[in-house]
Amino acid sequence: MARRLPRKDVVIVGLGWTGSILAYELSRTGLDVVAIERGPWRDTATDFNIGTAPDELRYAVRHDIFLRPKQETLTMRNNPSQTALPIRKWGSFLPGNGVGGAGVHWNGQTWRFLPDDFRIRSHMMQRYGDAIFPENHHIQDWPVSYDELEPYYDKFEYLAGISGKAGNIKGQIQPGGNPFEGARDRDYPTPPLKQGYAQGLFTKAATGLGLHPFPRPSANISAAYTNPYGCSMAPCTYCGFCERFGCANYSKASPQTCVLPALVREPTFEARTECEVMKVNLSSDGKTATGVTYVDRSGDEWEQPADVVLLCAYALFNVRLLLLSGIGKPYDPDKNEGVVGRNYAYQTGSGSTAFFEEAKFNPFAAAGSLGVAADDYNSDNFDHGPHGFVGGASITSAHTNGRPIQYHPTPRGTPTWGSQWKKAVASTYQRVTSVGAQGSVMSYRNNYLDLDPTYKDPLGRPLMRMTFDYQDNERKMANYMADRCDEIAKAMGAKQTQVNRLTGPWSVVPYQSTHNTGGAVMGSDPTTSVLNRYLQTWDVSNVFVMGACAFPQNAGYNPTGTVGALTYWSLDGIRKYLKSPGPLVQP
């Protein structure tokens, strides 16, 4: 039986990017805020010490800072006709664990989605007609526009010190930036990272092909920076230990570098780590949350009453908490009804690996978001008419790392071990680079999340079940992009290229992307969304849900920039709610 604790104004579930930003913004106004986090406290000085942080075996291979499948995993299947089985070792995606969440281990690519991404359904309908949409799709417009979110993107970028080059300031196209981006009010807080040899080749080749390359926006920052919260960062040293690692140099934007130093000074803030929230508790009519119940590390159960509950866990786990708590109607694909779990989406990856005769790419001099990109084939920046698919991709030349255990590309046909393999690794390491396309994934009737009927976690709660596969629309798009990448790779002077296409069903085994989106999407219609435009749940007005679970479908970009912008956008809504409780949008 849970013991009841004294009431708090706000309880936050999960202390990553979204949880820490909201905790700081709310506690600095004097509200009593408690953040409940199931993983450990993590801090740059003690956990990502430069003497021990660059340990590829410990962090990249053995997943030191990731969620343990024993804590929570999912069951997975490609379509509803299959029986889902539990993921026992993380592969395709790697959920974070502990304070900082995935904001600790990310690569740091910090994009704004394009204006068309937010109105994709109406825009595509208007330009191409209904026939452009794939079968069984659930594509829907966002309930916010790019222009509405612009000031909030700006806030997050200035919190994180993002390094980049503006392409469009107040409607004026800026040379060297991304000409396709939505108008921004001002440039990035810090200049772009220094690029490597491959990026120089890409820029020249892509420009020659009529494309518009630009340095991609990076949270591995190029220059010392102090953010509006007073937190300071140091310039990136290009060590190439970003994704899967905490940054030891205070160079990668994370809750640790950008928020926590200020947050922990707030006297009305409290963090409880290694405490797992079981569910959000509801009043007897189910219309108000009364707080949460959690289990601490000794296995004792506590009830934490609160006036407002903010779900700030990872996208997937927010959806599961909604399902476990009975907030919102669970999605049922048979009837195509219900909302929680609906519109789960992901990301495509395709491209071309380029082998050069004479080159020295020095892939070890890298950063998680070092690279140049071209957006000519993203969103609706090109004519989709001849291609018959919806969506697009950002095309990139990047070196995120050249680490010894996991980075050793070899040409197809090379043995996977033995002296021939060693020879190929040695001769290829410096002479290989790639051009990649990270693409959008639309939402579909049969790609969704629900509770598994069979498998349970150690606390006895059903695991969440993921039903997902790439659809023809995504394959068509990703393979079109792979060919575009190959054109660029050849124009860069590669002697030999290898096209990497999207084929076969999605597999949970090889790492692909931790960009899991949807499942608790925001929208204007309560029959097709869980959240209103302020990320407030339609059904329980004192529960707000952060994160990429709110995306109605995924765009051809990394999600964190948009997650950050939505957090600040929602904060305005939360403040409005605190002044005058109740639904912020009438359905």
Partner 1 sequence: MRLRGVILFAALAVSGSAMADPDNYVIGMRGRELTTVGDCVACHTAPGGASFAGGLALATPFGVIMTPNITPDDATGIGRWSKAEFSRAMHEGRGRNGAYLYPAFPYPYFNKVSREDTDAIYDYLRTLAPITNTVNRRTLPFPFSIRTLMAGWNTLFFKPAPFEPDPQRSAEFNRGAYLVQGLGHCGACHTPLNAFGANKPAQFLQGNRIDDWTAPNITNDPQAGLGKWSVEEVVQYLKTGQTRSTIASGPMREVVEDSTSKMSDDDLKAMAVYLKERGAAGRSAPAAIAASDPRMQAGAAIFTDTCGACHARDGTGVEHMFPRLAGDAIIKQADPTTLIRIVLTGVRGAGTDAFPTSPAMPSFGYRLDDRQVAAVVTYIRNSWGNAASAVEAETVNSLRSRVAGPVERSAAQ
Amino acid at 212: H
Of 32 and 450, the one with the shorter C-beta distance to partner 1 is: 32
State which of residues 73, 109, 163, 249 lies at the interface with partner 1 (CB under 8 A).
249
Q: Does 265 bind partner 1 (CB under 8 A)?
A: yes
Of 307 and 539, the one with the shorter C-beta distance to partner 1 is: 307
Please report how close the Cβ of residue 260 comes to partner 1 at its closest, in angstroms.
Answer: 9
77 has which bridge partners? 467
State which of residues 51, 299, 413, 510 lies at the interface with partner 1 (CB under 8 A).
51
Please report how close the Cβ of residue 216 comes to partner 1 at its closest, in angstroms.
Answer: 23
> Residue 20's closest CA among 96, 101, 106?
101
Q: How far apart are the first and last CA of the chain?
A: 37
The rounded distance, in Å, linking the Cα atoms of 224 and 203 is: 26
State which of residues 86, 261, 462, 583 lies at the interface with partner 1 (CB under 8 A).
261
State which of residues 109, 257, 318, 497 lies at the interface with partner 1 (CB under 8 A).
257
Cβ pair 151, 185 in contact under 8 A: yes
Cβ pair 448, 467 in contact under 8 A: yes
- Cβ neighbourhood burial of 81 (10 Å; 0-12, 13-18, 19+): exposed
Please report how close the Cβ of residue 437 comes to partner 1 at its closest, in angstroms.
Answer: 33
Per-residue x/- marks for partner 1, 113-152, CB under 8 A? ----------------------------------------
Please report how close the Cβ of residue 293 comes to partner 1 at its closest, in angstroms.
Answer: 25
Please report how close the Cβ of residue 233 comes to partner 1 at its closest, in angstroms.
Answer: 7
State which of residues 158, 250, 314, 361 lies at the interface with partner 1 (CB under 8 A).
250
Among this protein's residues, is 408 annotated catalytic?
no
Of 32 and 117, the one with the shorter C-beta distance to partner 1 is: 32
The rounded distance, in Å, linking the Cα atoms of 317 and 463 is: 10
Please report how close the Cβ of residue 45 comes to partner 1 at its closest, in angstroms.
Answer: 3
CB under 8 A: which stretch of 248-256, 267-275, 502-510, 561-569 binds partner 1?
248-256
In order of 69, 416, 586, the CA distances from 35 in angstroms are 23, 46, 29
Q: Does 45 bind partner 1 (CB under 8 A)?
A: yes
**Residues 182-241 close enough to bind partner 1 by CB under 8 A:** 224, 226, 229-235, 237, 239
Please give the DSSP secondary-structure letter assigned to residue 248.
Answer: T
Please report how close the Cβ of residue 263 comes to partner 1 at its closest, in angstroms.
Answer: 9
CB under 8 A: which stretch of 130-138, 198-206, 258-266, 521-529 binds partner 1?
258-266
Of 251 and 343, the one with the shorter C-beta distance to partner 1 is: 251
* Residue among 105, 212, 384, 515 flagged as catalytic: 515
CB under 8 A: which stretch of 66-74, 246-254, 377-385, 459-467 binds partner 1?
246-254
The rounded distance, in Å, linking the Cα atoms of 154 and 165 is: 13
Please report how close the Cβ of residue 244 comes to partner 1 at its closest, in angstroms.
Answer: 20
Q: What phi, psi does 352 have (nearest 5°)?
A: -140, 130
CB under 8 A: which stretch of 245-253, 295-303, 327-335, 548-556 binds partner 1?
245-253
Please report how close the Cβ of residue 153 comes to partner 1 at its closest, in angstroms.
Answer: 24
Q: What is the 3-state secondary structure (H, E, C) of 449-485?
A: EEEEEEEECCCCCEEEEEECCCCHHHHHHHHHHHHHH
State which of residues 4, 29, 30, 50 lies at the interface with partner 1 (CB under 8 A).
50
**Residues 452-471 close enough to bind partner 1 by CB under 8 A:** none
> Residue 346's closest CA among 372, 315, 320?
315
Beta carbons within 8 Å of 556's beta carbon, 6+ residues apart: 378, 379, 391, 392, 393, 394, 437, 438, 439, 440
Looking at 161-220, list the stretches that DSSP marks H as alpha helix, in order from N- to C-terminal side.
Answer: 197-208
Q: Does 1 bind partner 1 (CB under 8 A)?
A: no
Q: What angle do CA 407, 408, 413 make, to 5 degrees?
A: 140
At residue 293, the 3 state secondary structure works out as: strand
CB under 8 A: which stretch of 49-57, 290-298, 382-390, 485-493 binds partner 1?
49-57
Q: How many chain residues bind partner 1 (CB under 8 A)?
A: 25
CB under 8 A: which stretch of 127-135, 200-208, 255-263, 457-465 binds partner 1?
255-263
Per-residue x/- marks for partner 1, 345-364, CB under 8 A? --------------------
Beta carbons within 8 Å of 354's beta carbon, 6+ residues apart: 432, 433, 434, 435, 489, 490, 492, 494, 496, 497
Of 227 and 350, the one with the shorter C-beta distance to partner 1 is: 227
**C-beta pairs of 574-579 under 8 Å, 24+ apart in sequence:** 574/22, 574/26, 574/308, 574/310, 574/534, 574/544, 576/534, 577/308, 577/534, 577/536, 577/541, 577/542, 577/544, 578/31, 578/308
Cβ pair 568, 574 in contact under 8 A: no
At residue 46, the 3 state secondary structure works out as: helix
The rounded distance, in Å, linking the Cα atoms of 396 and 559 is: 16
**Catalytic positions:** 515
Provide the binding-site residues for partner 1, judged by CB under 8 A. 44-46, 49-51, 224, 226, 229-235, 237, 239, 248-250, 257, 261-262, 264-265
